[in-house]
Amino acid sequence: MQEGKNEFFLNVKKIAGPAMRLTSFTDYSLRTLLHLGMHRGRLVTIQEIADTHLISKNHLMKVVHQLGVAGFVETVRGRNGGFRLKIEPEEINLGAVIRATETDFHMAECFAPGGNNCPLSADCRLKHALATATFAYLRSLDTQTLAMLLPEPAAKPVMTAIQFHRIAVVAE
């Protein structure tokens, strides 16, 4: 069964070809938000994320700044400062994050606001096909939140009857 599973994934890769790529900036932004979502009870430092994810501190400073400008992160200055999520993970929409961190979605030269030199532009339908695909991609991400990507919190252990009895006896 394992062999068939690997074969399936290899075939999907061949059919799908290269995936749509995000910039490193967006990748680091998503990793940062995930890290913050997994450490909700405390402030996180740039150094911590840099060490955990092997990302340059200088690059992370820009990422955190942009996430703050976009309203996803709040910073606390000072010796014991750091940063944390400004809003709940359920309110952080992945489509909004990607739109806030990607520089553009110009899939081809004809998408650029100025300087389209393609001789096929007048009769080409590629721009529409790519625009439709980009719209579907972002629409799909609009249905996802940061909370959906976070691991489930560990269940709190259930108190056994014996433990409950011990507590009741001590309380008497």
First-to-final CA distance of the chain: 59
Q: What is the pLDDT of residue 128?
A: 82
Under 8 Å CB-to-CB from 151, ≥6 apart: which residues?
Answer: 38
Six-digit token pair at 139?
């629409």
**Which residues of the chain fall short of a pLDDT of 70?**
1-20, 108-113, 115, 154-172
Architecture (CATH level 2) of domain 2-171? Orthogonal Bundle (1.10)
Place of tokens 């309110």: 91
Place of tokens 């993970």: 89
Q: Are 29 and 85 in contact (CB under 8 A)?
A: no
Q: What is the pLDDT of residues 22-57, one digit of tens each?
A: 889 999 999 999 999 999 989 999 999 999 999 999
Question: From the CB of residue 149, how many other CB atoms can be counted at a distance below 10 Å?
Answer: 15
Under 8 Å CB-to-CB from 59, ≥6 apart: which residues?
Answer: 24, 25, 28
Q: What is the pLDDT of residue 169?
A: 56
Q: What is the pLDDT of residue 66?
A: 96
Q: What is the pLDDT of residue 8?
A: 44
Q: What is the pLDDT of residue 158?
A: 60
Q: What is the pLDDT of residue 150?
A: 92
How many Cα atoms are found within 13 Å in the side-chain-facing hemisphere of 22?
19
Dihedral sign, Cα of residue 46, residue 50, residue 52, residue 53: positive
Tell me the domain boundaries of the chain. Answer: 2-171
